[in-house]
Amino acid sequence: MSEFEPKIVAFFCNWCTFTAADLAGTSRLAYPPNLKIIRVMCSGMVDPKFVLKAFLNGADGVLIGGCWPGDCHYINGNLKARRRVALLTEVLKQYGIGEERFWLRWIAASEGNMLREIAADMTAKLKQLGPSPLQNIAQMAL
């Protein structure tokens, strides 16, 4: 049987994390193909609904990548994202999707290497953890 390949939906901010992903690419730093990257203008524009929809549509993990505090292109979008992530984590945790499946990470434009590490780390952890509990839910229950 082939190994379980987790599906990770990644929302990357245009200015830092997406650029870091670009850098990883141009530097030929290979990272797991499990990430499905969606470029957003800022981590602060990731509506909790985006994350909920990703999980409800079968994502095994969601990763939000933003600029380090102080480096946000929009001054403080990443700090707003952090509060929202804390809130949404508290909601999801109650029904079985914990912090281990829902990550927020700061990755600067120059940190292509860190992007690779985080992508590999999350993929490995989700492989260990197995499919999302929402995978078992019948379509008729959603």
Partner 1 sequence: MAKFAKLSFKKDELNKELAGFFKGMLEKGAVDAVLVPMAQPKKGVRLALVTSPENAAKVDPFAPVAAVSGAKIASSLTSRPSGRKVAMVLRPCEIRAVIELVKLKQVVLDDVLLIGVDCYGRYENTDFAKFQEKGGTSESFLENAQAGKTATQDVDIIGACKICEFPTAEGVDMRLCAIGSGSGTVFIEAVTKRGEEALEKSGLKPGEVPAGRDEAVKKLVAGRTEARDKKFEEIRKEVGTFEGLADKLSACVNCYNCRVACPVCYCKECVFVTDTFRHTGEQFMMWADKAGMLKMPNDTLFYHLTRMTHMSLFCVGCGQCTSACPNGIDLMPLFRACADKTQARFNYKAGRSVEEEQPMAGFKPDELVEVTGQVK
- Binding of residue 76 to partner 1 (CB under 8 A): yes
Choice between 80 and 127, CB closer to partner 1: 80
Q: How far is the CB of 22 from partner 1 (least distance, A)?
A: 21
* Three-class SS of the chain: CCCCCCCEEEEEECCCHHHHHHHHHHCCCCCCCCEEEEEECCHHHCCHHHHHHHHHCCCCEEEEEECCCCCCCCCCHHHHHHHHHHHHHHHHHCCCCCCCCEEEEECCCCCHHHHHHHHHHHHHHHHHHCCCHHHHCCHHHC
- Binding of residue 70 to partner 1 (CB under 8 A): yes
Choice between 1 and 142, CB closer to partner 1: 142
- Binding of residue 85 to partner 1 (CB under 8 A): yes
- Binding of residue 86 to partner 1 (CB under 8 A): yes
- Return residues touching partner 1 (CB under 8 A): 48-49, 52-53, 56, 68-70, 76, 79-80, 82-91, 93-97, 103-106, 133-134, 136-137, 139-142
